[in-house]
Amino acid sequence: MANVKKITTPLSDADIKNLRAGDRVSISGVIYTGRDAAHKNLVNAVKAGEPLPVDFKDQIIFYVGPTPAKPGKPIGSCGPTTSGRMDSYAPVLLELGLKGMIGKGPRSKEVIEAMRKHGAVYFAAIGGAGAVIARSVKKSEIVAYPELGPEAVYRLEVEDFPCIVAIDAEGNNLYETGVEKYRIS
Amino acid sequence: MKEISTEKIIETVKNLCIEAACNLPQDVEELIKKHQASEESEFGKYIFEQMIENIEYARKENQAMCQDTGVAVVYLEVGQDVHIVGGSLVDAVNEGVRQGYTEGYLRKSVVDDPVFDRKNTGDNTPAVIHTEIVPGDQLKITVVPKGAGSENMGALKMLKPAEGLAGVKEFIIKTVTEAGGNPCPPIIVGVGIGGTMEKATMLAKKALTRKAGEHHPDPRYKELEAELLKEINRLSIGPQGLGGRVTALAVHIETYPTHIATLPVAVNLNCHAARHQEAIL
């Protein structure tokens, strides 16, 4: 398996160029959470010309709704949710300079096209491994939409958060090439 | 007539919710480990290792193994000689869910209205409750936390009887293919065949609670389960959809007699975290 590439947020264009579908990566720094309801709010705000609660330029959004933190822990279980539900919103945030998305499952053509256009990467984390993923989160705080409960936007400080580059900025797509590689004809 | 108090039901449901979210049943864990050796893809192997580490860590820490602790699907098999005392059975189940999801630090994932408000109810209630009256004086409670990632990929089709076995197979394979990497493969495929529209979907969901390694009692369906599992694992979707040999861990088919004019088939998918716990009072 490929060596693990270490990256730190915010991401630069050079970071993005260096990432290829099929790379294992380890992410450190600040990332933001956001899923269905938060995306709806964010995109509505953009359409209405209102300021966003977070500047997503060069940042990563992690599609997750964590379980509540137990006492003494920064966060509960926090594995990725299905990214496809964010496909209709993602191009708007990519246009604002979002550089990375972490989730699970394939993305639409429109999202991949926007990733190519704006230079962004889609990372897959392991769905259903939320308890071990939580070990790489060192700190968490809600920065927007607290009324959404688990769907609020959290600012997470992560160390060595494990991911796989599933789709890179050139549109190489592990959901296609990986399946093709093991196809039985 | 045996009396069972709502207090006892609340306590039981609460504990089952926490147990189900944090402690994957041994048979499911063994099923995952059994398939681990067949995986050839490097990412697939890595994902299997992470899945198993996660199961063990969640159990040890008594922490939810997945952040999607689901909507609480609760099956009640109520013996006809049981008398529930102390209040409403449905209220007791919901109170158990409320307490379990709060005290167990589980995620509250239920919104009050599906279309207009979508406001989180804050305590994961109401549960989806299926009640069946059965002979005897016991109350069997099964809690199945069902995540939406896999639930969203389910499907129902009312086939024509002429479409027969080939139509059934085609629909199941098509549903799994279209689900791809979305439902967190490797998955367990629950299939309900027969009955009516709602009966088929009920059977498909109930099939997911079947003990891993058990088969349909009719040898023809047992063979069909094995054949479908083999076909699905030829799709090479693989763990998390990144390609590989293991797309499904099992296919569980449940059947029921049906109308002369119809052949309903429902497919309900479950991620590898096939959580469920039961208790008998």
> What does the pLDDT look like over B250-274, one tens digit per residue?
999 999 999 999 999 999 999 998 8
- In sequence order, what are the beta bridge partners of A129? none
- According to CATH, what is the number of the domain A15-182? 3.20.130.10
Question: Which of chain A's residues have a Cβ under 8 Å away from the Cβ of B273?
Answer: 128
User: What tokens were used for A140?
Assistant: 């968490």
Q: What is the spatial distance between Cα B209 and Cα B115, in angstroms, rounded to a whole number?
A: 29
Q: Are residues B122 and B223 in the same domain?
A: no
User: What average pLDDT does the structure give for chain A?
Assistant: 95
Strands (E), chain B: 2-5, 71-79, 82-85, 128-134, 139-146, 155-159, 187-195, 248-258, 263-270, 277-280
Q: Are residues B254 and B233 in the same domain?
A: yes
Of B103, B128, B146, the domain-final residue? B146
Which value, in Å, is the radius of gyration of the alpha carbons in chain B?
19
Q: What is the mean pLDDT of residues B121-145?
A: 97
Q: Are residues B154 and B142 in the same domain?
A: no
Q: Are residues B115 and B167 in the same domain?
A: no
Provide the sign of the torsion angle of the four alpha carbons B173, B175, B176, B179, taken in this order.
positive
Residue B88 within any structural domain of the chain:
yes
B208 — pLDDT class (breaks 50, 70, 90): very high
Q: Does residue A2 register a pLDDT over 70?
A: no
Residue B133 within any structural domain of the chain:
yes
Q: What 8-state DSSP symbol labels residue A169?
A: T
Residue B205 within any structural domain of the chain:
yes
Most B-contacting residue of A25, A64, A83, A132 (CB-CB within 10 A), to test interface? A132
Nearest to B72 by CA among B25, B16, B33, B120: B16
Q: Are residues B119 and B184 in the same domain?
A: no
Residue B22 phi/psi, 5-degree rounding, is: -105, -20
Most B-contacting residue of A44, A182, A183, A185 (CB-CB within 10 A), to test interface? A182
- What is the value of pTM for the model shown? 0.94
Which letter, b or e, does each residue of A30-62 get, where b requires 16 or more Cβ atoms within 10 Å of its Cβ?
ebbbbbbbbbbbbbeebeeeeeeebebebbbbb
Q: Are residues B130 and B166 in the same domain?
A: no
Which residue is listed with tokens 């496909």?
A: A87
Residue B32 within any structural domain of the chain:
no
| Beta-strand relationship, B82-85 and A121-124 | unpaired
Residue B194 within any structural domain of the chain:
yes
User: What tokens were used for B100?
Assistant: 């379990």
Residue B48 within any structural domain of the chain:
no
What integer pLDDT is reported at residue A1 of this predicted model? 56
Q: What is the spatial distance between Cα B35 and Cα A148, in angstroms, rounded to a whole number?
A: 39
What integer pLDDT is reported at residue B42 of this predicted model? 92
Q: Are residues B246 and B128 in the same domain?
A: no
pLDDT digits (tens, 9 = 90+) for A48-104: 999 999 999 999 999 999 999 999 999 999 999 999 999 999 999 999 999 999 999
In three-state secondary structure terms, A133 is: helix
Percent share of chain B, pLDDT over 70:
100
Longest dimension (CA), chain A: 52
- In sequence order, what are the beta bridge partners of B134? B79
Of B146, B175, B200, the domain-final residue? B146
- Count of domains for chain B: 2
Q: Are residues B96 and B10 in the same domain?
A: yes
Q: Does residue A174 register a pLDDT over 60?
A: yes
- B47 vs A: CB within 8 A: yes
Residue B115 within any structural domain of the chain:
yes
What integer pLDDT is reported at residue B213 of this predicted model? 82
Given the residues A35, A39, A99, A104, select the one marked as catalytic.
A39
- Nearest-CB residue to A150 (from B57, B66, B109): B109
pLDDT digits (tens, 9 = 90+) for B56-93: 999 999 999 999 999 999 999 999 999 999 999 999 99
Q: Are residues B191 and B87 in the same domain?
A: no
Give me the domain span that covers residue B130.
2-20+65-146
Q: What is the mean pLDDT of residues B154-174?
A: 98
Q: Are residues B141 and B154 in the same domain?
A: no
Q: Are residues B168 and B210 in the same domain?
A: yes
Question: Which of chain A's residues have a Cβ under 8 Å away from the Cβ of B50?
Answer: 126, 129, 132, 162
The residue type found at A71 is: P
Q: Are residues B72 and B105 in the same domain?
A: yes
Beta carbons of A181 and B54 less than 8 Å apart: no
Of B146, B167, B188, the domain-final residue? B146
Q: Does residue A185 register a pLDDT over 90?
A: no
What integer pLDDT is reported at residue B171 of this predicted model? 98
Question: Which of chain B's residues have a Cβ under 8 Å away from the Cβ of A70?
Answer: 63, 105
Question: Which of chain B's residues have a Cβ under 8 Å away from the Cβ of A68?
Answer: 105-107
Active-site residue flag, A118? no
